[in-house]
Amino acid sequence: MANTNTTEIIESLAAEIGENVYIDVAKWHLYLSDAHLHTVVAQRTYQLLENDNLSEDNVLEILRNIPVKLGGGKIEVSLLNLLPMQSQVHLIDLLEEYQNKI
């Protein structure tokens, strides 16, 4: 039963991330849900929440290790490099709110 609760929390977290965090490409804001990156971010950051290990450095490390393929896979860029500072801050704030809920 705990697994179902965890799945629901991750899905809810993914939805929040997808609607509120975006990458910036040539001044276009592409939300993570549209880029199909919200679920992977939620899954990886949830582990920080679950282990009470949430910190800015840990979140940035996770983002650094999520590759995003561009140009049909010609190049890969870390998600961290695509997120403007405002999105990084918003993500960390959102994760802190979730940590307080669980």
Residue 43 makes CB contacts below 8 A (sequence gap 6+) with: 10, 14
Each residue's pLDDT expressed in tens, for the chain with a length of 102 residues: 356 688 998 999 999 999 999 999 999 999 999 999 999 999 999 999 988 899 999 999 999 999 999 999 999 999 999 999 999 999 999 999 988 887
Q: What angle do CA 11, 68, 88 make, to 5 degrees?
A: 65
Q: Give the pLDDT score at 45.
A: 96
Instruction: Classify strands 28-31 and 75-78 as parallel, antiparallel or unpaired.
Output: unpaired
Token pair 């979140």: residue: 59
Q: Where are the domains of the chain?
A: 2-101
- DSSP 8-state symbol, 29: E
- In degrees to the nearest 10, what's the CA dihedral of 47, 52, 20, 87? -100
Predicted confidence at residue 24, as pLDDT, reads 94
Indicate the DSSP class of residue 83: S
pTM to 2 decimal places: 0.90
> pLDDT at position 1, please?
38
